[in-house]
Structure 1
Amino acid sequence: MAPQTEDFTIGVEEEYQILNPETRELTSRVQQILPFAKKTIGEKVHPEVQLSQIEIDTPVCQTLADVRRELVRLRKGVIDAAAKDGDRIAASGTHPFSTWKEQDVTPKERYQNLIEEYQQLGKEQIIFGCHVHVGIRDRNLAVEVMNRARVWLAPMLALSASSPFWMGTDTGYASYRTEVWGRWPISGPPLIFESVDDYKKVVEALVKSKSVEEETKIYWDMRLCVKYPTVEFRMADVCMTVDEAVMLAGLTRALAHTCYEQAKSENSYPKARHELIRAAHWRAARYGLDADLLDVEEQSAVPAQELINKFLTFVRPSLEEYGDWDEVSAIVKEILQKGTAASRQREVYKRAGKLEDVVDYIVEETKKGISEAARSWGSPSPMSDC
């Protein structure tokens, strides 16, 4: 087991859908649910842009077991709180058929300003993501990690894809959330930065030019967190199951750790063109694991399983160092065999022909294994906050 230090801690943020159990549509009930949720799980639950969204963030976690325990605790707390209000909770990158026109914006200044600034783009943001923070105190090394990790974000996006439907339509995408989000002006995979000073100069120029109001509104797929000494990975759809979320967290920490060690050793890395990185993300969002993906390093299309296996080989030493290889590789293998959350949702729709059945499936997957795990662990031990 790797030594536990402030570097390579993990924090996970998940955004969930609030549903009416009768219509299966999104419902604007976060203000009614939050008081119940906070009584159970404390301040680790928050509103989001729309009143039909609710977000959790884990405390700082040292191990993947900590991540699993906290995700189980927080998901259960939100699910139970929603049930008290007569609602349901679902974890998926988009809702299969609810429309943005029927959503209410949360009456909070930050969110109201966001809608005022971005207008239609802001109104359409009924999308749900997962962000993973990895602790790296040295900011220069954190930027080096970003430079090296950017070629591997697309495989993780493909594994996490959970948003095939949008406003009642099968979009043909595995992660349509990526395409909705990608219309924002400061989003998508970042460029290479020469140093942390170079990173700061770009950020300062964006703020000074009024391209963004302030640094926290820079929405790259990876960024230096303003509040905490972490690199924040933001490219993934919210995962339907706890298992998939744990897998994503483990892969993200292993990728950051691998790139960190390479940066310390001053190893060379592929300085891929931004156009190729964007194309790789598009293919991952379009196909998930159901077609060839783009190997940025080789500049060629390869079978999805081949690229995933190459990625696993790249991060395996770090996964093994943290004792995570068996768990993470087993979940990846299961996804390769059974399909991504997006492809599994499509299978439900093909069988039933009703998007309401897809919603029911997502609800069940969201709470899969949570009650059993919570009972076996009992009350969680307190953990330090981020």
Structure 2
Amino acid sequence: MGQSIEDFTIGVEEEYQIVNPETRELRQRAQRILRKAQATVGEDVTNELYLSQIEIGTPVCKTLGEVRAELVRLRSGVINAAQREGSRIVAAGTHPFSHWEDQAITPKPRYYGIAADFQQLAREQIIFGCHVHVGISDRELAIQVMNRALPWLAPLLALTGNSPFWLGMETGYSSYRTELFQRFPMAGTPHVLASRSEYDDLVTSLIETGSISEASKIYWDIRPSSHFETLEFRITDVCTSIDEAVMVAGLCRALVRTCYSHAERGLPIEYVRPELLRAAKWRASRYGLEGELIDVEARRAVPAAQLIKKFLEFLRPSLEETEEWDEIGTLVFETLDRGTGAKRQRDAYSQRGRFEDVVDLLIKETARDTES
């Protein structure tokens, strides 16, 4: 009955920026780089909405060691392909200064459809995220796990804020990507759903009203995948370092396993008002780890480190069972100590007030550990 540890598989998708090494601006070279990258690492590299973006998706992984190895392999393949073409690769939620007006859409019917439907919202979607899939074969339990995971999405976002700059401006946000993306009508944090049938009925209603064409057009922060037997976390910015990406994957799987156990045992859902969840998410996108976050269970603001430690303790039994406590705990505390990608970007900018220095830092950090 239920899933074994091995059944909670992991898949990670990362969206990257293509940049010009001279000007450090975004560059429309996805088609050229894609051909070169696929020749070495296969079909796990794909297009994204704009020609200045490129995406990787790991194969199904059973351990964090496999996740790390696949991220090294795929990042290396994309970085090397870009270098052979004369470009560089950056992993960050937004580009510090390139303008959306200068970006060309990828010439595919799916992307033309998004542009036609969403108009200005689509034109400004020069953003880059990380999506983590965790395997759940029981579609009913996937909904119950999603319900229970909602209170912990904001701490995940706070740990991964990596988009403080937009159009050459300091936004004041740790994850400005979050604010850009949640303007989409089908984005944001879902409400608690009573059952899989309620979710299916919602999808049917959205399709019948012409709001979406199919289930994959629901862009929630966490959602049941429409193509795989997984629960997909979509709330985080893409992480600059491989260590951070592994941290996110480990936290997401531990959260799924913990909530799955609670659902199987019939433990009640800790219901949180959607307005409070929205406030918690906004606080995480605004401040990251640099201020107070909202403990939605206690209904009060607390120092960010305090909430992150509470999150980690909530996941500890699962992490210990998979023998990942030491690795994930260490990575989380390292992030608390050195700060998020947003903080490191700001630190780089503060030295000389040059966004080019920020891009140079991101190029270096994105490629770090890819030669192992």
Q: Which bin holds the TM-score, normalised by the shorter protein?
A: over 0.9
Q: In structure 2, what is the equivalent of residue 172 of structure 1?
A: 172
CA offset digits 1:152-190 (Å, max 9, x no partner): 000000101100000100000000000000100011111
Task: Report the residue type matching 2:369 in the other structure.
Answer: G
CA offset digits 1:289-325 (Å, max 9, x no partner): 0000011111110110000000000001111111111
Q: In structure 2, what is the equivalent of residue 61 of structure 1?
A: 61
In structure 2, C-alpha distance between the alignment counterparts of 1:38 and 1:116, rounded to whole Å = 29
Contact 2:5/2:322 (8 A) holds in 1: no
CA offset digits 1:33-83 (Å, max 9, x no partner): 111100110000001000000000000000000000000000000000000
The normalised TM-score by structure 2 is: 0.98
In structure 2, C-alpha distance between the alignment counterparts of 1:208 and 1:300, rounded to whole Å = 40
In structure 1, C-alpha distance between the alignment counterparts of 2:203 and 2:222, rounded to whole Å = 13
In structure 2, C-alpha distance between the alignment counterparts of 1:182 and 1:219, rounded to whole Å = 9
Residue 203 of structure 1, CA deviation: 1.0
Residues 4-83 of structure 1: pairs in structure 2 closer than 5 A: 5=6, 7-83=7-83
Residue 213 of structure 1, CA deviation: 1.9
Identity %: 56
- Structural RMSD (CA): 0.9
Residues 1-386 of structure 1: pairs in structure 2 closer than 5 A: 5=6, 7-371=7-371, 373=372
Secondary structure of 2:337's aligned partner? helix
Residue 14 of structure 1, CA deviation: 0.1
Task: Report the residue type matching 1:54 in the other structure.
Answer: I
Contact 2:288/2:340 (8 A) holds in 1: yes
Secondary structure of 2:236's aligned partner? strand
Task: Report the residue type matching 2:90 in the other structure.
Answer: A
CA offset digits 1:2-53 (Å, max 9, x no partner): 9553x31000000000000000000000001111100110000001000000
Residue 352 of structure 1, CA deviation: 2.0
Residue 339 of structure 1, CA deviation: 0.6
CA offset digits 1:261-289 (Å, max 9, x no partner): 00000112311010011111000000000
Secondary structure of 2:78's aligned partner? helix
In structure 2, C-alpha distance between the alignment counterparts of 1:366 and 1:251, rounded to whole Å = 21
In structure 2, C-alpha distance between the alignment counterparts of 1:215 and 1:118, rounded to whole Å = 17
In structure 1, C-alpha distance between the alignment counterparts of 2:52 and 2:278, rounded to whole Å = 30
Residue 214 of structure 1, CA deviation: 1.6
Unaligned runs of 5+ in 1: 374-386
Residue 215 of structure 1, CA deviation: 1.1
In structure 2, C-alpha distance between the alignment counterparts of 1:81 and 1:4, rounded to whole Å = 36
Contact 2:91/2:238 (8 A) holds in 1: yes
In structure 2, C-alpha distance between the alignment counterparts of 1:350 and 1:203, rounded to whole Å = 47
The normalised TM-score by structure 1 is: 0.95
Secondary structure of 1:43's aligned partner? helix
Unaligned runs of 5+ in 2: none
Task: Report the residue type matching 2:49 in the other structure.
Answer: V
CA offset digits 1:187-210 (Å, max 9, x no partner): 111100000001111111111111
